[in-house]
Structure 1
Amino acid sequence: MKLRIGILGTRGIPNNYGGFEQISAYLAQGLVQRGHEVTVYNGHKHPYQLTTWRGINIVHCHNPEHWMGMSGQFVYDLNCILDARKRSFDAILIMGYTSSSVWGKLYPRDSVIISNMDGLEWMRTKYSKPVQRFLQFAEKLAVKFSDNYIADSLAIQKYLRDKYDISPAYIPYAAEIMPFTDDRICNEFRLIKHNYMLLIARMEPENNIDTILSGFTKSSTSQHMVVVGDTANKHGRHLVNIFRNDKRILFAGPVFDTQKLHSLRSFSSLYFHGHSVGGTNPSLLEAMASKVYVVAHDNAFNRQILEKDASYFNTALDIKKIIEEDIPAVKKETAIEDNFNKIIHRYNWDRIVAKYEQFILSCCNSATVEEHIYHPGYIGK
């Protein structure tokens, strides 16, 4: 059964921003390879300006975020929804709800609406109390106006079941296993292989970058700490300012080249993952696929993925102790291999794309059955 599928809610593909863009790129390619017609919506200023990419249709919609700020996302999502109303998609996959669910009454009703419910956005500390209350409201609207739901972690699936009495499908993210590493990346950043630590994240409070770097500065290590992420926002500038005197810390800026990122991870001695809100985080899976030992913030989301195969922290003192601890080589090697096997068997793109396809097909088939059941001329068995 060939479907016409629209993917909304991202800034666009190829990925130049983050997690939803990443999964949308892989998912759209996989669905096209399985014979479906897929359209992804891009902002009009996205670096990629062609109308197709690897067999995927690209629709550019006006996104005024560059001059309106974050509120421009609401206008962009509205523009995407209005365009989608004209295209007769069988299914529309909406990645997140932050700025789209307020337009729920405008969702195309001749399409099956499937919402990926993202993390618990209203828990993010970067948002003020009024914004957090709005995000809780937006979450309710997403539940109200969607036909089906996807949760990318078991913890979020349980939360949605308990709060809204709905049955989301659990489909996590995945990571690509890269075939080789390129040690030229170490020369580019003047690093010594396996003699530096790495942190890759958006500069946001809930990613605990300040806790990680505070613990690092208190430690006696001679290794460098490489921080990959755009520091141009308020929190990023704050971090650069307060840690500017520790010459061991290198703020490398954003890196989107997947091969460079893989090589940076592979050659690091420790990988720090401070994300505390959200579900299955793509950057964590990518670290696991790059065979690096992970030090993660202690929360249900990270423990679900890593299980026993990591060191966990809550405080800067925990970070200092982990850095100065002589972690046995056998422990590190076992954890690295266990996590790599999880990528192979649980979090690989073929498996995740297949789960998405199966779920989207089942949603469309269910909608067709219900349509026949309630059609006046339908005679049931």
Structure 2
Amino acid sequence: MKIAIIGTRGIPNHYGGFEQFAEYLAKGLVERGHDITVYNSHSHPYQQPEWNGVKLVHCNDPEDKWGTVGQFIYDLNCIRHSRSQNYDIILQLGYTSSTVWGWLLPRKKSIITTNMDGLEWKRTKYSKPVRNFLKWAEYLGTVYSDHWIADSLGIQDYLTKKYNIPSTYIPYGAFPFEEAESNCLASYDVKEYDYNMLIARLEPENNVDTILEGVSRASNKSPFLVVGKHNTKYGEYLKNKFASFGHIRFVGGIYDINVLNNLRYFSNLYFHGHSVGGTNPSLLEAMASQTLICANRNEFNSTILEKDALYFSNAEEVTKCLDSIRKQEYQSWVDNNLHKIKHIYEWNKIIDQYENHFKTIYSTQHEIQQNIPS
């Protein structure tokens, strides 16, 4: 099948979860014999027309000049280009800045299937007018798509109750990480199992402030690595607030998956503060890299982790975990989470589910067309 993926900044990943997902999915589908195109920002660091057999289309992205408005223009440019192609299927990732252009999607030529992402309108960083807009954008995502994908059972239940639409549940995936090497630790001045960490976009709904407040109060002064781009307004706020705590280290974004896996593997505790949306890719990667996870207490995290993690709801619980928990005492939880990755969330299994979804909607569409009287 000829399939396009829109809704990301592009691949290879230099940004976040959707980009990492698009990278793995596109490469996996090419290996299964499909013709895959991913739409990239014109400013993406990788400027070649192809990556590991995946075709890349670079569209003008004025976000660096116009800010948020530029995201909408970029999505418009991607959709306009898709109209000139003959894709069998277009996979749309998310809805925040794309579904306002949904009426332009080439639905007569291509089947549109949308990964509805999380509940973006719940993000506290947005003002009330923006959150109201996101609710509307979410609704448009249900109007201008032919099929829908939910990345968590919670999102699938929400789509059924809110919009009465059927959706296909396909979570994100991860590759098991079992060949750890401690060589990269020296670059971050940390020692095996003698540091704690988090990886996240530095945004309020990821509970970074709550986690770091707990870190600052803890008696345990082992290094705490904060991995994520911090040259933002909120990042500056966090750096200023915790500037007097030398063991809290803002190390910036890291996009080398091998480095990330090793840092997670050799950490004592890994904090996952995401509270909005479905299955977060970084949570599955943490499970796959055999780290002991302390997650924000919410249904999206607990559905995946079940009883094999620590949970926190406030800074006091973060402090308690840091001062009393050692990874070696919870190896069975680590092993259980790795088992889930291998048997439920392993990337090849997830790619198979996406391929089956594409085959199903493609064959169904052709059956409908064949039964339409000429």
What's the TM-score bracket when you normalise by the shorter of the two chains? Answer: over 0.9
- Residue in 1 that maps onto 2:111: 112
Looking at structure 2, the residues matched to 124 and 325 of structure 1 have their Cα atoms a distance apart, in angstroms, of 31
Match of residue 361, structure 2, among 360, 363, 367 = 363
Deviation digits for residues 292-351 of structure 1, max 9, x if unmatched? 100000000000010000110000011111111245844x11100000000000111110
The alpha-carbon distance between structure 1 residues 76 and 328, as it changes in their structure 2 partners (threshold 3 A), is closer
- Counterpart of 2:141 in 1: which secondary structure? helix
Looking at structure 2, the residues matched to 177 and 58 of structure 1 have their Cα atoms a distance apart, in angstroms, of 28
Match of residue 45, structure 1, among 43, 46, 50 = 43
| Structure 2 residue identity aligned to 1:358 | N
Residues 1:65 and 2:86 are matched in the alignment? no
- Residue in 2 that maps onto 1:376: 373
Looking at structure 2, the residues matched to 179 and 293 of structure 1 have their Cα atoms a distance apart, in angstroms, of 15
Segments of structure 1 that go 5 or more residues without pairing to the other structure are none
- Residue in 2 that maps onto 1:282: 281
Q: Is the 8 A contact 1:293 1:336 kept in 2?
A: yes
Match of residue 33, structure 2, among 32, 35, 40 = 35
**1:214-225 mapped onto 2 (5 Å cutoff):** 214-225=213-224
TM-score, with normalisation over the residues of structure 2?
0.98
- Counterpart of 2:271 in 1: which secondary structure? strand
Q: Is the 8 A contact 1:182 1:260 kept in 2?
A: no
Looking at structure 2, the residues matched to 189 and 59 of structure 1 have their Cα atoms a distance apart, in angstroms, of 36
**1:37-186 mapped onto 2 (5 Å cutoff):** 37-109=35-107, 110-186=109-185
TM-score, with normalisation over the residues of structure 1?
0.96
Q: Aligned residues, how many? A: 373
Q: Is the 8 A contact 2:176 2:338 kept in 1?
A: no
Looking at structure 1, the residues matched to 58 and 99 of structure 2 have their Cα atoms a distance apart, in angstroms, of 20
| Structure 1 residue identity aligned to 2:154 | A
Tell me by how many angstroms 1:179 deviates: 4.8
Deviation digits for residues 24-79 of structure 1, max 9, x if unmatched? 00000111111110000000010000001000000000000010101101100110
Looking at structure 1, the residues matched to 249 and 139 of structure 2 have their Cα atoms a distance apart, in angstroms, of 41
Looking at structure 2, the residues matched to 290 and 143 of structure 1 have their Cα atoms a distance apart, in angstroms, of 35
Looking at structure 1, the residues matched to 68 and 327 of structure 2 have their Cα atoms a distance apart, in angstroms, of 46
Q: Is the 8 A contact 1:84 1:108 kept in 2?
A: yes
Looking at structure 2, the residues matched to 47 and 37 of structure 1 have their Cα atoms a distance apart, in angstroms, of 23
The alpha-carbon distance between structure 1 residues 329 and 182, as it changes in their structure 2 partners (threshold 3 A), is closer
Deviation digits for residues 64-111 of structure 1, max 9, x if unmatched? 001010110110011000110111000000000111100111000210
Tell me by how many angstroms 1:224 deviates: 1.0
Deviation digits for residues 170-212 of structure 1, max 9, x if unmatched? 0000112235223221110111111000110001000000100
- Counterpart of 2:345 in 1: which secondary structure? coil
Looking at structure 2, the residues matched to 343 and 126 of structure 1 have their Cα atoms a distance apart, in angstroms, of 31
Looking at structure 2, the residues matched to 63 and 145 of structure 1 have their Cα atoms a distance apart, in angstroms, of 23
Residues 1:21 and 2:23 are matched in the alignment? no
Looking at structure 2, the residues matched to 169 and 84 of structure 1 have their Cα atoms a distance apart, in angstroms, of 24
Segments of structure 2 that go 5 or more residues without pairing to the other structure are none
Deviation digits for residues 250-289 of structure 1, max 9, x if unmatched? 1111100111101111110000000000111111111111
- Residue in 1 that maps onto 2:253: 254
Q: Is the 8 A contact 2:177 2:290 kept in 1?
A: no
Looking at structure 2, the residues matched to 365 and 119 of structure 1 have their Cα atoms a distance apart, in angstroms, of 28
- Counterpart of 1:346 in 2: which secondary structure? helix
- Counterpart of 1:319 in 2: which secondary structure? helix
| Structure 2 residue identity aligned to 1:338 | N
The alpha-carbon distance between structure 1 residues 222 and 34, as it changes in their structure 2 partners (threshold 3 A), is same
% of aligned pairs identical? 49
Looking at structure 2, the residues matched to 141 and 252 of structure 1 have their Cα atoms a distance apart, in angstroms, of 38
Looking at structure 2, the residues matched to 108 and 82 of structure 1 have their Cα atoms a distance apart, in angstroms, of 9
| Structure 2 residue identity aligned to 1:376 | P
Q: Is the 8 A contact 2:28 2:348 kept in 1?
A: yes
Tell me by how many angstroms 1:364 deviates: 1.1
